[in-house]
Structure 1
Amino acid sequence: MAAGAPRVFVSHLSGVAVFDPNGDQVGRVRDLVAMLRVGRRPPRLLGIVVEVAGRRLIFLPMTRVTGVESGQVITTGVVNLRRFEQRPTERLVLGELLDRRVTLVETGEQVTVLDVAIQQLPARRDWEIDKVFVRRGKSGALRRKGETLTVEWSAVTGFSLEEHGQGAENLVATFEQLRPADLANVMHHLSPKRRAEVAAALDDDRLADVLEELPDDDQVEILGKLKDERAADVLEAMDPDDAADLLSELPEEDKERLLTLMQPDDAADVRRLLSYEERTAGGLMTTEPIVLRPDATVADALARVRQQDLSPALAAQVYVCRPPDETPTGKYLGTVHFQRLLREPPFALVSSVVDSDLKPLPPDASLPSVTSFLAAYNMVAAPVVDDSGSLLGAVTVDDVLDHLLPDDWRETEFHGPEGVPDGRH
């Protein structure tokens, strides 16, 4: 940004693409790093947290930023690909400053920070946070009715204090377009306090999706900070297999208490999954595949496949069974693959196009057996059927990969070149 150019509000930078001088995309902005200073001097902006391939977070010094305009950030020079680690003197602008309650110096009134603006200093490459966009009124629902105003950084105080009960609505709104896996990556790098506040601000379905993408330790930490009733609601919103995996990490007393608070049908599915060994087809499967009766039509099957909340793996095929339709079902008759559905007339019965040659997996099939099955038949999901012929669920390739990759795969990124200064001196 050239000297004298308009200031930029940081919420507009979330998710913005970062390009090198050749026009190749380096990654996307996930946060900004600032250092608070003594007195009322505006904080110095040190750099940008950029998410690169593999969800790795790196630090891009502001001295290497040549432009922040037209919905993009332009950088110059060599990019240090070492993983970003926040230092004690640093503050994450999006993660820690937004939603904070601060005080107007002139009136002593408490206000809520909705956004902050950055600007490059004239004739220098340094950047500062110079403006704060705030809302008057109490935090929470009533806050939305308060007056908003933009003030100088020096006109407010309270950023340097550790705040308890800091809201997260504006931070959540900043990241609302992120996929669950990307938001999970952002939350993983927040402090435990801020992570709990963001979790509290997410609705149950969104939090359930994010929890499924977090490392086990983060899942247990977040769930433990929710009230029991809400924790049960979030577990109900999770895929049963993911909920079972999470509950298996808890002490027996906590697990049983949450299962008791869940809806009986949801709890029954999770209890059934918990009864299987972890690295078996029964322990890996989801209990909610697409199940159709033999007299359902291709049109019925396509309508079910089109449901938005289905994962691609579960939408790849439907399972034809005799009643009851819920797992465990009546007799399993076979599978109809999505591509086959597209080739058949809408009025055709699924029973007429079912693939009954492929032998299903037993619930005690080992992880290597499940992996071999998917690889041998080029499948993204496989039916799991018990000795009586009832469909119990389906194992999807994403669940198999979760168990084949190292335990810390969500935290392990590729290693970039070492020894490149990061400019944070």
Structure 2
Amino acid sequence: KRRAEVAAALDDDRLADVLEELPEDDQIEILGKLKEERAADVLEAMDPDDAADLLSELPEEDKERLLTLMRPDDAADVRRLMAYEERTAGGLMTTEPIVLRPDATVADALARVRQQDLSPALAAQVYVCRPPDETPTGKYLGTVHFQRLLRDPPFTLVGALVDSDLPPLGPATPLPAVTSYFAAYNLVAAPVVDESGSLLGAVTVDDVLDHLLPEDWRETEFHEEGVQGG
């Protein structure tokens, strides 16, 4: 009862943030206590990959009903993510990285990086692509790390700063290979590109860790003294 009261008191964006940090069983329980229209609004406010993970745990009938109530663009992103195996780059990725055209400036890129609702991993780099700018994009050209953005004049075009040496991940890349890729290149985020060269999304290190840790890791008590001792 108390959980339902707290959920009712939070706005959609805040409740979405809370759900993303809860264990799976708690997510399902809280979502099930919401009216369907509000549940759809909260799913829209969640990161698409987290919404896809949550919906995939629901009965097929409930899942389809909520997807129908969501905005078509948001529902399409979630359906696309649910089409991939969970423990692959496609199943781990978010469809909302920072995408810029090559004629965007460093100032444009930094304005996008500064957006408050971006996670640190997603803000770490921008992905330069030909139009269209929404995933799946036009031809993926490469990435520009935010540290490079800080070193160049604001009027510089990001197309001139692109790092094209880093090989992107394919959507079917399995989790162990994704993990090795992050370790080999010291990354916090990585592009996922299909066979046609379009950017599909980005995998972030927090999502990789979520799938490497035990399922009940969020329920494990965090002992500060243990961390200090380690």
With the shorter chain as reference, the TM-score category is: over 0.9
The Cα shift of 1:415 comes to: 7.0
Q: Which residue of 1 aligns with 2:72?
A: 264
**Within the alignment, does 1:352 sit opposite 2:160 as a pair?**
yes
TM-score in terms of structure 2 length: 0.96
More helix, by proportion = 2
- Give the whole-Å Cα distance in 2 for the aligned partners of 1:305 and 1:323: 19
Q: Which residue of 2 aligns with 1:241?
A: 49
* Corresponding residue to 1:312 among 112, 120, 126: 120
More strand, by proportion = 1
SS in 1 for 2:202: strand
How many percent of aligned residue pairs carry the same amino acid?
90
Displacement over 3 Å in runs of 4+ = none
- Give the whole-Å Cα distance in 2 for the aligned partners of 1:352 and 1:415: 47
Greater C-alpha radius of gyration:
1
**Within the alignment, does 1:378 sit opposite 2:186 as a pair?**
yes
SS in 1 for 2:219: coil
**Within the alignment, does 1:252 sit opposite 2:71 as a pair?**
no
Q: Which residue of 2 aligns with 1:293?
A: 101
Higher relative contact order, chain-length normalized (CA < 8 Å, sep 6+):
2
Q: Which residue of 1 aligns with 2:37?
A: 229
* Corresponding residue to 2:207 among 360, 382, 399: 399
Q: Which residue of 1 aligns with 2:228?
A: none
Q: Which residue of 2 aligns with 1:202?
A: 10
- Give the whole-Å Cα distance in 2 for the aligned partners of 1:388 and 1:414: 44
Q: Which runs of 5 or more structure 2 residues have no equivalent in the other structure? A: 225-230
Instruction: Note the aligned Cα RMSD (angstroms).
Output: 1.2
Q: Which residue of 1 aligns with 2:218?
A: 410
TM-score in terms of structure 1 length: 0.52
- Give the whole-Å Cα distance in 2 for the aligned partners of 1:311 and 1:352: 26
Q: Which runs of 5 or more structure 1 residues have no equivalent in the other structure? A: 1-192, 417-425
The Cα shift of 1:413 comes to: 2.1
- Residues matched between the structures, number: 225
> Which letter maps to 1:406?
P
> Which letter maps to 1:201?
A
The Cα shift of 1:414 comes to: 5.2
